[in-house]
Structure 1
Amino acid sequence: MGVKTTKRMKAILVIVLSTLLLLLYLCPFFMVVVNSLKTKVEIIKSPLALPIKYTIENYIDSFGTMKFTSAFFNSLIITVISVGIIIIFSSMLAYFLARWNWKINKIIFVILVVSMIIPFQALMIPFVKIYGGLNLLNSKWMLCFFYLGFGLSLATFMYQGFITGIPIELEEAAIIDGASSIQVFLKVILPLLKPTTITIAILDVLWIWNDFLLPSLVLVGEDQRTLPLSMFYFFGKYTSDYGMAMAALILTIIPIIIFYLLAQKQIIKGVIEGAIK
């Protein structure tokens, strides 16, 4: 068997395995879409079969039941503001930790790293007790503040590693030209952080948009609920409407798919630049 034949066989094998993995990955999503087009009786009777009669009633009913418009804008506001402040504060903190060699900087960095190890579940009870006692719950603005606290560590850690690799001569040249520290950060450092910023934005958008646990502790009122919280409408104590729940799930993930499609070029470009860096 020649070298070319061996390479061709390996390429075919890789394609076949990749196709199988893709189908395996898409199978659950396909079943959710299929069952969202069934009646409740059909889902219980034959969850793996195709619909006998396709219907979009689940989407219409779930859209109204979960108050999709209100929940969508709540999720959108919380996600955009939270991701924005995480990127701003973490990039500035990382720049401070990387460029100012103060003794306290090492302590701050160690605290940030250690905080990533502590699971949120260990903080839930004191979190609700303290902030509930201060009447700071049931506000999406406070939820954004909480996301800043929980997302700051990882983002700062990622930024700090990237900033360390940037030659300090670039900043010195800008300072010689008369730039202040803030101008150096905004006009020299921040544009170079674009690959890391895109990576952090992707991770945090997926995390915050799909998060259920933290909003369920903070947002008590129905008018403040996000899309994941609104999914609870379809699960009662004694019964569940799986058709409407799956339709609601599709409605919930559509905005993320649209976000990815619109930002696809920037995401791929950022990932490639980050890999090269």
Structure 2
Amino acid sequence: MAMAKTALQRLKTAALIVLLLLFVAPFFVVLLNAFKENKAITSAPFSLPTVWSLTNFETAFTKMNYFHAFSNSLTVTAGSVLLIALLASMTAHYFVRNNSRMNRILFYTMVAAMIIPFQAIMIPLVKIYGSLGMMNSKAALIYLYIGFGSPLAVFIYHGFVKSIPAELEEAALIDGCTRIQTFFRIVFPVLAPTTVTIGILNVLWIWNDFLLPSLVLIESVERTLPLSTFYFYGTYSADYGPLMAALLLTITPVIIVYLFAQKFIIQGVMQGSIK
């Protein structure tokens, strides 16, 4: 029996190592090829560079207009994440504290909306908002991210708000607080771990998203970092060296954020599963 458990444990460990390698391998391929010339990349993409050069990074940095694209990505990501957290937490609180039939219908409708794939609605979305003149704007992109990101955020917040005793809010109301003051002084601080988890998940999603910005942001001056990597694709060829460097410059900031914040993601998801 003990030998069987040991063998099973070793099998699980081996499977996890294989999965880890599968997930990490693309990143290391990009990392290695970011220092190579195009000829070396096409001839031996998995080999170490013979000469470690930063030329690709200099080309990518200039051609992407990196600081401007970084500013666009930061504006869109920060604006979307902050508004999603604020609006979703207030919506979930309202649904929990006003448990009417209509609110239950609205809540379940928002939850059901999470299963609709974006690809099924992207063409009608572009046609409708394009006819309204709302394309090619970071504000329009933030508005769309709020719409697509709020259902999951409301769902997560909903479970946490139910665990907060209503007596805390009643005591604050008796002491003279308004409902808005009660929410921001009592409820929202308690939701801080959930807010951090939702914020990090949305940062990872919005920062790396390519499809939605490619439909909304048409002019090059509005492009985010993932869109800027498209500069290195031609009609019949691709400039692979600078492209790999551009990909590395794009994903590095969000990897750093994730490495520092992963414990909050795990903690928040585990607490949410318990509640």
| TM-score (norm. length: structure 1) | 0.89
Query: How much has 1:184 moved relative to structure 2?
Result: 1.7
Query: How much has 1:202 moved relative to structure 2?
Result: 1.4
- Say whether the 8 Å CA contact 1:195–1:271 is kept in structure 2: no
| Identity in percent | 52
Q: 1:63 to 1:191 in 2, by over 3 A?
A: same
Q: In the alignment, what sits opposite 1:178?
A: 176
Answering whether residue 27 of structure 2 is matched by residue 42 of structure 1, we say: no
- The one-letter amino acid of 1:216's match is S
- The one-letter amino acid of 2:148's match is F
Query: How much has 1:9 moved relative to structure 2?
Result: 7.7
| TM-score (norm. length: structure 2) | 0.90
Q: 1:11 to 1:130 in 2, by over 3 A?
A: closer
| Inter-partner Cα distance in structure 2 for 1:117 and 1:160 | 18
Query: How much has 1:258 moved relative to structure 2?
Result: 2.6
Q: In the alignment, what sits opposite 2:59?
A: 61
Answering whether residue 138 of structure 2 is matched by residue 140 of structure 1, we say: yes
Q: 1:105 to 1:178 in 2, by over 3 A?
A: same
**Bigger Cα displacement from structure 2, 13-22 vs 117-126:** 13-22
| Inter-partner Cα distance in structure 1 for 2:124 and 2:19 | 42
Matches within 5 A, 1:247-258: 247-258=245-256
- Say whether the 8 Å CA contact 1:90–1:156 is kept in structure 2: yes
Q: In the comparison of the two structures, how many residue pairs are matched?
A: 275
Q: In the alignment, what sits opposite 2:206?
A: 208
Matches within 5 A, 1:151-166: 151-166=149-164
Deviation string 1:197-228 (CA, Å, 9 cap, x unpaired) is 12211111111101111111110111000011
Q: 1:274 to 1:139 in 2, by over 3 A?
A: same
| Inter-partner Cα distance in structure 1 for 2:190 and 2:260 | 22
| Inter-partner Cα distance in structure 2 for 1:157 and 1:139 | 28
Consecutive unaligned residues of structure 2, counting only runs of 5 or more, are: none
| Inter-partner Cα distance in structure 2 for 1:119 and 1:20 | 30
Aligned-residue RMSD, C-alpha = 2.3
Consecutive unaligned residues of structure 1, counting only runs of 5 or more, are: none
Q: In the alignment, what sits opposite 2:28?
A: 30
Q: In the alignment, what sits opposite 2:114?
A: 116
| Inter-partner Cα distance in structure 2 for 1:40 and 1:167 | 61
Q: 1:270 to 1:110 in 2, by over 3 A?
A: closer
- The one-letter amino acid of 1:48's match is F
Q: In the alignment, what sits opposite 1:127?
A: 125
Query: How much has 1:265 moved relative to structure 2?
Result: 6.2
Query: How much has 1:160 moved relative to structure 2?
Result: 1.0
